[in-house]
Structure 1
Amino acid sequence: MMMMMGFLQLLFFSCISMSSLRGCMGSDDPLQLNDDVFALIVFKTYIHDPSSYLDSWNEDDNSPCSWKFIQCNPVTGRVSQVSLDGLALSGKIGRGLEKLQSLKVLSLSQNNFTGKISPEIALISNLERLNLSHNGLSGSIPTSFANMSSIKFLDLSENSLSGSIPDNMFENCFSLRFLSLAGNSMEGPIPSTLLRCTTLSNLNLSNNHFSGNPDFSTGLWSFTRLRRLDLSHNALSGTVPGGVSAIHFLKELQLQGNQFQGSLPADIGLCPHLNKLDFSYNLFTGELPESLQRLNSLTFFSVSNNMLSGDFPQWVGNMSSLEYLDFSSNGLTGVLPSSMGDLKSLHYLSLSDNRLTGSIPMSIVYSTKLSVIRLRHNAFNGTIPEGLFDIGLDEVDFSWNELRGSIPPGSSKLFESLKKLDLSRNKLSGDIPAEMGLFSQLTYLNLSWNNLQSRIPPELGFFQNLTVLDLRNSALYGSIPGDICDSGSLGIIQLDGNSLTGPIPEEIGNCSSLYLLSLSQNNLSGSIPESISMLKKLKILKLEFNQLSGEIPKELGRLENLLAVNISHNRLIGRLPVGGIFQNLDQSALQGNLGICSPLLKGPCKMDVPKPLVIDPHAFGNQMGDPESSKSSTNFRHHRFLSVSVIVAISAAVVIAVGVMVISLLNVSAQRRLAFVENALESMCSSSSRSGSPVTGKLVLLDSNTSPDWVSSPESLLNKAAEIGGGVFGTVYKASFGGEGRVVAIKKLDKSNIIQYPEDFDREVRILGKARHPNLIGLIGYHWTPQLQLLVSDYAPNGSLQAKLHERPPSAPPLSWSNRFKIILGAAKGIAHLHHSFRPPIIHYNIKPSNILLDENFNPKISDFGLARLLTKLDKHILSSRFQSALGYVAPELACHSLRVNEKCDIYGFGVLILELVTGRRPVEFGEDNVVILSDHVRVLLEQGNVLDYVDPSMNEYPEEEVLPVLKLALVCTSQIPSSRPSMAEVVQVLQVIKTPVPRRMEMF
């Protein structure tokens, strides 16, 4: 294939210089036909075509006009269009196409092309439409694109392009109507030459790293022909002044996910054709402009996650075309108008996390197309509007309000549609409607923290898809229905803090998907059912503060996945089960029982042994004054003394054995270190690759203008490598390479469970390479062979947060509050970028101080992000290792295969990280007779009002008005229920508000 490609290229570029191709091909056809054939054949030689779509491209043909995906001008017979969209092609966009001088349309989107954009494409003088979107192209935009004066449509979106836009790129853009650079890693300011593109109707620069203050007033607002403007998810800042009304035909304006501040443009409502308006996730303040009520064509309107204030606009009902309305996470006050019912097309309504009061207007039931309604965390009172549950809603979240009255029973429409119902933290009363068991699609039900004073209806067992059932602290009484687990889909059952009586039903063993069972603080009696041992996925079991009796079934010791158990304050007796977590339980999980046999407890050890088995009346140490009893007691003490001696001897032997093992492991480690260098040198020096495939055996640089051969001496790179750390994914080394002695970090990946195909590895690493952010460690390149995989990234000179926080020498100064807050906010921004700038989001899975690196100015740099993408699967071994290596940081659901693990597990780890930074304590601390869980302890101290006493004493000064809300935010992030945790964007917003010196801060909690 390589020889054929070279031959064709040589043939092509020698023949085209002749006045005729007749001498080359022996054909009487005119020059232009053969010119196009050879151009396309040469272009094809750079391509890997796994499905043979291009088999019809035959170099023996005199004309390409009959080939698939090719169109020709019927008059001239020259190729005018090449459309290869979505054919799974790979390789590079090589030479040849520049010879198609009649080409007007070149579309190669939705493929797997890699490498840089060929600057020769700009030589196609008549090109009007160029679409290279949704590929893996890298590098910067060629400066030669400034010469494309005839281009009308340019789409380079969803690639891995980087760098800034060339300053001269828009010097000749007088014909440009459509421009999209979305979904890349481009940075820097938007060049001022863009203003020359006066014919632009669609401009999309979203999901990049563009920064600075765009020129709106005399710049972007001067594009009078603009229909769609999307600058979302960048790092743009400054204000957005008025003047937008000059763009009379504007239909979509998206500025979300930036750092814009100030008021919204007052004349925004003077754009009569607007149908989509998104200002969310910025720093806008002030009230909503009155002119907005004129937007009768608006269908999508979001200003969520800003700092807007003032009363809820009473004119919202005038926006009759609205389908999507999101005002959540602001500081809006007042009541909802009755005109809300005039929004007949509305299907999504979110007003959560504001300060709204009054009742939910009854007219809302007239918005019959509503599918999602979220009013969480306001101060709404009154009752749930009668008739609202007759609409085919998909999601209802009225939690954290002051609603009263009963729960409406619902209608047949609701039974078929409702997936999530959250009415927690209200003042609701009355029975739980038995009709709820008919909600066939319901996956999440939370009625906790109400005053229902109801029984649990047995109909709840009818749920076929329910995964979360939370009825905590709702004044429930009666027994737990035996058929509560009939569906088998439940992953979480929380019934804590009620007045439930009777036994735990044996049928609980039918909950085959259960990973959290919490029945604490009730009046449950009887024994712990043996059937719990059938719950193989169970992670957390909480039964404390009940009246359970008897012995703990020994079969529970077989639950290998069990991570936390609390059976304290019951009437349990006997030995603990052998195996599992039971031998490692601390005193707080066992205390308050009648006679559990454990060295941690001081009370008596009672065994539930049948009387016929007691043959010797003195076998249990009768102390009634009988001389024989006294003798028996003496013998017992003697045996106990001998047992202790034996234990001491065994312990000494174990210590010696461990010492020998440590020395052996150190020797093995040194040998493996040498083996690593030798293997790496051997594999990096043997380079072989084929056209269209990722380079193997060499160092591939993701974001550089240099070739993969730039590292001329792998020996110097690896011989100087020094091991500086390690983790679940592999070992990290520090090395310097390049002419300027650049210092980098090299991670040698553990080969087990890592992707073993170079194409897949290359694709996933390039996706991670697109994650460019000031608070993320930049990925420089990679090395792949079947025997060795390396990742090369930037090096952070100031070490890890782990070292600064917990391994600080006495002579080093402690971290100041300003630096701690900088680390918290910067880390939040980095994680938010991973969560919100990629679809699907990049989940870290391992947020902890050792993965937060620091630069010279203590700016945080998150490392090891997205490495789970390099795994063939996130299997049980990896999860188990992660629990062991990140004790205290891991969210409960991360080890549960039955639930969809999402970015909420990162939120949990980040909340623990905040607590650790503020208190200086580790997430889990082991004392002599207890274990302190940091999040639980801080939560108790906060409720007691003395949480500031737990702040790191090494900080001499700190502002209480910042520390206290930061601690509260951390506790919200570490909620046991994933849906109760905020998004990372919301966390960033709250932190920015905490730090912003405004006269009157919003009450965030």
Structure 2
Amino acid sequence: MKSVSLGVIFLFSSLFLLGESGSSSLNDDILGLIVFKSGLEDPQSKLSSWSEDDESPCNWDGVRCGPKSNRVTELNLDGFGLSGRLGRGLLWLQFLQTLSLSDNNFSGSLSADFLRLESLQSLDLSANNLSGAIPDGFFGQCGSIRDISLAKNSILGKIPADVGACSTLSALNLSANQLSGSLPSQIWSLNALRSLDLSYNSLDGEIPAGISKMLNLRAISLRGNKLIGRLPNDTGDCLLLNSIDVGENQLSGDLPESMSKLSTCSYVSLSSNSFSGEVPAWIGQMSSLETLDLSGNQFSGSVPSSLSNLQHLKVLRLSENSFNGTMPDSLAACRSLLEVDFSRNPLTGNLPAWVFESGFEQVLLSGNKLTGPIEFPPVTDSTLQNLDLSNNDFFSKFPKEVSNLRSLTFLNLSYNSLYGSIPASLGELKSLQVVDVSGNRLSGKIPEEIGLVTLLKELRLKKNSLTGEIPTQIGTCSSLSYLDLSQNNLTGAIPEALAALTDLQVVDLSLNQLSGTIPKQLSNLPHLLSFNISHNQLSGELPAGSFFNKITPSSVSDNPGLCGSIVNISCPAVLPKPIVLNPNSSSPDSASNMFSPGNHSHKKIVLSISALVSIGAAAVIAIGIITVTVLNLRVRATTSNSAAELALSDEYLSHSPATDTNSGKLVMFAGGDPEFSVGAHAVLNKDCELGRGGFGSVYKTILRDGRSVAIKKLTVSSLVKSQEDFEMEVKRLGKVKHPNLVALEGYYWTPSLQLLIYEFVSGGSLHRHLHECSTSNTLSWQERFDIILGIARSLSYLHRLKIIHYNLKSSNILLDGAGEAKVGDYGLAKLLPMLDRYVLSSKIQSALGYMAPEFACRTAKITEKCDVYGFGVLVLEILTGKRPVEYMEDDVVLLCDRVREALEDGRVEECIDERLCGKFPVEETLPVAKLGLICTSPVPSSRPDMVEVVNILEMIRCPQDNQEEELS
């Protein structure tokens, strides 16, 4: 690396320390560059042409000299892959005008002497690993510098106030660093400045007044900081401003009217702030606007019709606001408009005709309240490429005129009320890459013409009423990577043609009526990440292969005919050829004689081993049916004379002898002797109490057979259904069996006392393990992930049975002896018909922080998405070890808000329980944290289904499993 001799370095150092007296010689440049090189790592040998033996450096790579002076005027080493510190050798290049060292790995801090090179005009140190603060005096000696870029480093601290001393500066770029503090008002003193980029730092406070002093300013970007307050009133007095970007801050208030004077401004982005009020009509006076981005704010009122004056407007983004009313027809006058985004507003009315009549390339209208039919244009000259009308209230047939949108690459009509069949004309869209019509009312078959869309990458048709077979022609869609046909009524076999789709990553065919075997050729798909065929009627052995050897059991569950190690069912061995028996021969040689010409008159009986087994099985079944019938007749006869349902008085079960003595009814679902081994006083004794919740208290007791059970005494008896309804619902819950659910084993009923009998789970509650155990006994990351996955699987199972939990919280999650999660208290809200959501809020959802926001709205529909929200809070609680709500001195902090803010600021370590002491894989914890935040979205429709959650968690876990297997 360091080819320079120690003597040369010593010589240069001596010269430099002696000062600048004496005339400069040509060797000054060589010595300075060689010493600079000596402190660097050059893995690509980019500086191999630099030699101290040369008489001139002007032919060295990256070096340029002045034609007259023959001195170094430019050093451009961009992207050379160099590393090391910026040595003082560069300070000897007294004629240097341009120093560009971007896109390397230089480290260390900036030197205050860097700008003392009097000839230096341009300094670019962007995209390196520079750190530390900008030193005091750095800008104070900037001389004739015109351009400074320190972007994409790790520079800390405040912007020095002496930045205002660079009077000749025309461009300053400090973006993508870690600068903090307020924006110094002295920065507005840079009269010659044309471009200012301070984006993606951590600057805070208000934007100071005085920007109007910058009469030459053309572009300013403050995006991605923490600035608050309003835009300065004099913003519009910078009359030459061409671009304004203050997105992703915390700015608020309305827009300053002075901006109406920015007639030459072409780009304005105020996205992701808290601006409010109506968009003023004077916006139409900014006649040069080409991009207007007001997305992600709190603007309200109608969309101003004055936008029609913006004849140069190409991009209009108004998504995620509170605009109301209809989409203005006046936008048809914006002849240059290419992209419009009105997503996630409460806009109403029909789809305006101008969407298809103008030359749009992208129209995004998802998440509004648009109604009426979708009517595609009758002409085929449309330039539309991306169309998203999802999550509205459109009600119409799927129009066959979709084929007129010949340029379409992205089509999303999901979650509307489209009906009828998918038109075959869809196959005429040769450029189509994404089709999503999920969550509609579509019926009929998937058209075979879908195979003509050869560029298709994603096909999402889930949650419809599609019938028929999966067309084999889909195998010609060679680019397909995502296929979701779940939750339909598809029949027939899985086509072998899917094996030709080598880009497939995700396949979901669950919740259909597919039958037959799984094609073995699918095991050869190289990029497959998820293959869900659960809840069908498939049979036979799972294919062998790298993916199918590791497929999760939930992805193949509820296919009674499937066999293999994944589903814990042995596949039958390969059967031998049929045995041919000759009824007229009893000798060992008779079998060979059957093929002789003399035996043609004898009858043959051909019985395979499978036939013999079938006959034997049929006989056993017949005997079993007769036996069961006889036993049932005996039981019914006995029931009328003896107590089939054991009578038990309240006095026997209650801690108080004064309880009502009317006999009750005790039923154990598994049969056996349900009597308790302890006396009456101990069954619900205070000493046996395990805990109390929104539904009642829980006690531990022991059955006579030695088995421990948990008894929940309901404390809301006055709200319980009638005995008939109560028993029907409890028996339904008794049939719910899942390894991650606490099993309901029986019940006891009287009008004044109701008990539920559960299996006893010995490991205690998740709440205790997270918040009450010592650091030495804390749960490992592996245990936490397994708990999260177990909870998700149990909720997915409950939701398939149309059971909503309503009461998710860490105290309702129990751990068995092996650390497996078991969810309790599920489905109990249905026992209490008189409870409305406000009682649920206070009694059932007793733990603040787990309750979905829609519980606060009387008209909102309570769905499975409430459980998804509670699950998301649980995920974050397990991840961080913190409670869902924490009470500060003068504030209440929600866990989901804390995690979201930490992730947005890149502070991932604050999202993980400190008791894990860094022992966790970031590739798992980070996506799990993001999944928890998605599940806690305030908008129910934005939360995933629990089936999707399980699939995501299993995909997060899979990479680690693969790595462990490779290591083993």
TM interval, shorter chain, is 0.5 to 0.7
Equivalent residue number for residue 296 of structure 2 = 305
> Matches of 1:243 and 1:807 in 2, distance apart?
46
Which of 44, 69, 87 is matched with 2:80 structurally? 87
Higher relative contact order (CA 8 A, sep 6+): 1
Is residue 2:377 matched to residue 1:384?
Answer: no
Is residue 2:415 matched to residue 1:462?
Answer: no
> Matches of 2:298 and 2:917 in 1, distance apart?
28
Is residue 2:554 matched to residue 1:565?
Answer: yes
Residue by residue over 1:8-43, the C-alpha shift from the partner in whole angstroms, topping out at 9 and shown as x without a partner, is 231013245779999xxxxxxx74322222222222
Equivalent residue number for residue 971 of structure 1 = 943
Which of 462, 472, 475 is matched with 1:472 structurally? 462
> Matches of 2:283 and 2:346 in 1, distance apart?
21
> 1:53 Cα deviation (Å)?
3.9
Equivalent residue number for residue 451 of structure 1 = 441
Residue by residue over 1:196-217, the C-alpha shift from the partner in whole angstroms, topping out at 9 and shown as x without a partner, is 22221111100111111121xx
Is residue 2:239 matched to residue 1:248?
Answer: yes
Which of 423, 429, 432 is matched with 2:419 structurally? 429
> Matches of 1:410 and 1:979 in 2, distance apart?
36
Q: Is the 8 A contact 1:425 1:449 kept in 2?
A: yes
Query: Aligned runs of 1:738-753 on 2, under 5 Å?
Result: none
Using the TM superposition, name which of 113-122 and 53-62 deviates more. 53-62
Which of 144, 148, 166 is matched with 1:150 structurally? 144
Residue by residue over 1:896-930, the C-alpha shift from the partner in whole angstroms, topping out at 9 and shown as x without a partner, is xxxxxxxxx76424235x4xxxxxxxxxxxxxxxx
The 1:18/1:490 distance shift into structure 2, 3 A limit, reads closer
The 1:32/1:311 distance shift into structure 2, 3 A limit, reads same
Residue by residue over 1:862-893, the C-alpha shift from the partner in whole angstroms, topping out at 9 and shown as x without a partner, is 9899955xxxxxxxxxxxxx5xxx7xx96xxx
> Matches of 1:15 and 1:300 in 2, distance apart?
56
Query: Aligned runs of 1:323-472 on 2, under 5 Å?
Result: 323-368=314-359, 370-387=360-377, 390-409=381-400, 414-415=405-406, 417-472=407-462
Equivalent residue number for residue 12 of structure 1 = 12
Q: Is the 8 A contact 2:356 2:384 kept in 1?
A: no
Q: Is the 8 A contact 1:267 1:291 kept in 2?
A: no
Q: Is the 8 A contact 2:111 2:135 kept in 1?
A: yes
Q: Which amino acid aligns with 1:137?
A: L
Query: Aligned runs of 1:868-879 on 2, under 5 Å?
Result: 868=923
Equivalent residue number for residue 229 of structure 2 = 238
Residue by residue over 1:370-422, the C-alpha shift from the partner in whole angstroms, topping out at 9 and shown as x without a partner, is 3221100111223334338742333211001122334444688855x433211
> Matches of 2:216 and 2:248 in 1, distance apart?
25
> Matches of 2:492 and 2:615 in 1, distance apart?
36
Equivalent residue number for residue 163 of structure 1 = 157
Q: Which amino acid aligns with 1:911?
A: I
> 1:518 Cα deviation (Å)?
4.1
Residue by residue over 1:763-811, the C-alpha shift from the partner in whole angstroms, topping out at 9 and shown as x without a partner, is xxxxxxxxxxxxxxxxxxxxxxxxxxxxxxxxxxxxx975798799xxx
Q: Which amino acid aligns with 1:622?
A: I
Q: Is the 8 A contact 1:39 1:96 kept in 2?
A: yes
> Matches of 1:41 and 1:477 in 2, distance apart?
76
Is residue 2:176 matched to residue 1:183?
Answer: yes
Residue by residue over 1:124-179, the C-alpha shift from the partner in whole angstroms, topping out at 9 and shown as x without a partner, is 13322211112222222122312223222111111121222223343x22211111
Using the TM superposition, name which of 392-401 and 247-256 deviates more. 392-401
The 1:319/1:5 distance shift into structure 2, 3 A limit, reads farther
Which of 57, 72, 84 is matched with 2:50 structurally? 57
Residue by residue over 1:526-553, the C-alpha shift from the partner in whole angstroms, topping out at 9 and shown as x without a partner, is 4354558647636342443x6x37x543
Aligned residues: 677
Q: Is the 8 A contact 2:200 2:224 kept in 1?
A: yes
> Matches of 1:533 and 1:192 in 2, distance apart?
65
Which of 547, 553, 567 is matched with 2:541 structurally? 553
Equivalent residue number for residue 623 of structure 2 = 622
Percent identity, please: 29
Using the TM superposition, name which of 106-115 and 612-621 deviates more. 612-621
> 1:516 Cα deviation (Å)?
4.8
> 1:455 Cα deviation (Å)?
2.4
> Matches of 1:828 and 1:520 in 2, distance apart?
32
Q: Which amino acid aligns with 2:9?
A: Q
Q: Is the 8 A contact 1:907 1:973 kept in 2?
A: no
RMSD of the alignment, in Å? 4.5
Q: Is the 8 A contact 1:112 1:135 kept in 2?
A: yes
> Matches of 2:777 and 2:31 in 1, distance apart?
53
Q: Is the 8 A contact 1:128 1:153 kept in 2?
A: yes
SS state of the match for residue 484, structure 1? Answer: helix
The 1:21/1:471 distance shift into structure 2, 3 A limit, reads same
> 1:352 Cα deviation (Å)?
0.2
Which of 571, 575, 578 is matched with 2:564 structurally? 578
Equivalent residue number for residue 101 of structure 1 = 94
Which of 181, 200, 223 is matched with 1:207 structurally? 200
Which of 156, 174, 178 is matched with 2:167 structurally? 174
Alignment TM-score, normalising by the size of structure 1: 0.60
> Matches of 1:208 and 1:351 in 2, distance apart?
29
Equivalent residue number for residue 762 of structure 1 = none
> 1:283 Cα deviation (Å)?
0.8
> 1:120 Cα deviation (Å)?
2.6
Question: Which of the pair has more CA radius of gyration?
Answer: 2
> 1:330 Cα deviation (Å)?
0.4
Q: Which amino acid aligns with 1:232?
A: R
Q: Is the 8 A contact 1:533 1:556 kept in 2?
A: no
Equivalent residue number for residue 259 of structure 1 = 250
SS state of the match for residue 295, structure 2? Answer: coil
Is residue 2:912 matched to residue 1:851?
Answer: yes
Residue by residue over 1:289-342, the C-alpha shift from the partner in whole angstroms, topping out at 9 and shown as x without a partner, is 221101221111101111110101112222111121111000001112223223
Equivalent residue number for residue 675 of structure 2 = none
The 1:542/1:99 distance shift into structure 2, 3 A limit, reads same
Equivalent residue number for residue 471 of structure 2 = 481
SS state of the match for residue 321, structure 2? Answer: coil
SS state of the match for residue 358, structure 1? Answer: coil
Using the TM superposition, name which of 95-104 and 559-568 deviates more. 559-568
Residue by residue over 1:95-144, the C-alpha shift from the partner in whole angstroms, topping out at 9 and shown as x without a partner, is 12212223222222232322222333133133222111122222221223
> Matches of 2:492 and 2:279 in 1, distance apart?
55
The 1:979/1:516 distance shift into structure 2, 3 A limit, reads closer
> Matches of 1:505 and 1:49 in 2, distance apart?
56
The 1:141/1:310 distance shift into structure 2, 3 A limit, reads same
The 1:6/1:867 distance shift into structure 2, 3 A limit, reads farther
> Matches of 1:485 and 1:98 in 2, distance apart?
65
> 1:55 Cα deviation (Å)?
3.9
> Matches of 1:246 and 1:395 in 2, distance apart?
38
Q: Is the 8 A contact 2:409 2:434 kept in 1?
A: yes
Is residue 2:613 matched to residue 1:613?
Answer: yes
Is residue 2:931 matched to residue 1:908?
Answer: yes
SS state of the match for residue 391, structure 1? Answer: coil
The 1:35/1:975 distance shift into structure 2, 3 A limit, reads farther
Q: Is the 8 A contact 1:276 1:301 kept in 2?
A: yes
> 1:242 Cα deviation (Å)?
2.4
Using the TM superposition, name which of 160-169 and 489-498 deviates more. 489-498
Alignment TM-score, normalising by the size of structure 2: 0.62
Q: Is the 8 A contact 2:498 2:522 kept in 1?
A: no
Equivalent residue number for residue 27 of structure 2 = 34
Q: Which amino acid aligns with 1:563?
A: T
Equivalent residue number for residue 274 of structure 1 = 265
> Matches of 1:515 and 1:19 in 2, distance apart?
66
SS state of the match for residue 277, structure 1? Answer: strand
Query: Aligned runs of 1:794-943 on 2, under 5 Å?
Result: 802=877, 815=886, 821-834=893-906, 851=912, 867-868=922-923, 882=924, 907-912=930-935, 914=936
Q: Is the 8 A contact 1:242 1:265 kept in 2?
A: yes
> 1:58 Cα deviation (Å)?
3.2
